[in-house]
């Protein structure tokens, strides 16, 4: 049985002009150079919308025989659940999938009930 312990690898503050593709490539290099290969699930948050995160996941720690350069997921921090994922060797396709996940996260976040929306 494989036990995974999520470990966040932190990306420095992004510059407003950074493209999604450049953030994905930067996140990839961070994961590639980060210490540790103990089987824990390492990831870098590419974008955050409320409780939702679009993450680049270190697939190599979980599937060492696979050659998956880019594995992103839409993650719900409130429920500790991965809602969607996408893998590809192509950064442009990965960026397009990340854009779709960001849009989905925005829709999900907007649907959340807010305290001011509750009526007594």
Output the domain CATH number for residue 66.
3.30.67
DSSP for residue 7 = E
- What is residue 10's predicted lDDT score, i.e. its pLDDT? 54
119 found inside a domain: no
Q: Would you report the helix, strand and coil content of the chain in percent, each value rounded to 5?
A: 35, 25, 40
- Please check whether residue 74 is in contact with residue 101, taking contact to mean a CB–CB distance below 8 angstroms: yes
Q: Is residue 118 part of a domain?
A: no
Q: What is the pTM assigned to this prediction?
A: 0.75
Q: Do the domain assignments include residue 13?
A: no
Neighbouring C-alpha atoms within 13 Å toward the C-beta of 98 = 27
pLDDT reported for residue 74: 97
Could you list the mean pLDDT of each consecutive 10-residue stretch along the chain, which spans 120 residues? Answer: 43 63 90 66 90 90 74 94 93 96 95 58
Q: Would you say residue 3 lies in a domain?
A: no
CA distance 77 to 89: 26
What's the pLDDT at 55? Answer: 94
Residue 63 domain-assigned (yes or no): yes
Q: What is the pLDDT of residue 3?
A: 32
Provide the pLDDT for residue 41.
Answer: 73
In-domain check, residue 44: yes
Alpha-carbon distance 81 to 90, whole Å?
Answer: 25
In a domain, 5, yes or no: no
Q: Name the strand (E) or helix (H) holding 87.
A: strand 81-88
Say how many domains are in the chain: 1
Asked if residue 1 belongs to a domain, the reply is no
For residue 37, give its domain range: 19-112
């Amino acid at each position: 049985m494989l036990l995974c312990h999520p470990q966040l690898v932190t990306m420095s503050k992004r510059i407003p002009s950074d493209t999604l593709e450049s953030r994905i490539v930067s996140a990839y290099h961070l994961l590639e150079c980060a210490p540790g290969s103990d089987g824990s699930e390492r990831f870098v948050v590419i974008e955050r919308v409320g409780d939702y995160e679009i993450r680049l996941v270190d697939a190599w720690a979980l599937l060492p025989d696979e050659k998956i350069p880019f594995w992103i997921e839409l993650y719900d921090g409130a429920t500790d659940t991965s809602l969607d994922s996408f893998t590809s060797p192509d950064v442009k396709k990965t960026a397009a999938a990340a854009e779709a996940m960001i849009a989905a996260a925005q829709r999900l976040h907007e649907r959340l009930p807010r305290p001011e929306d509750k009526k007594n």
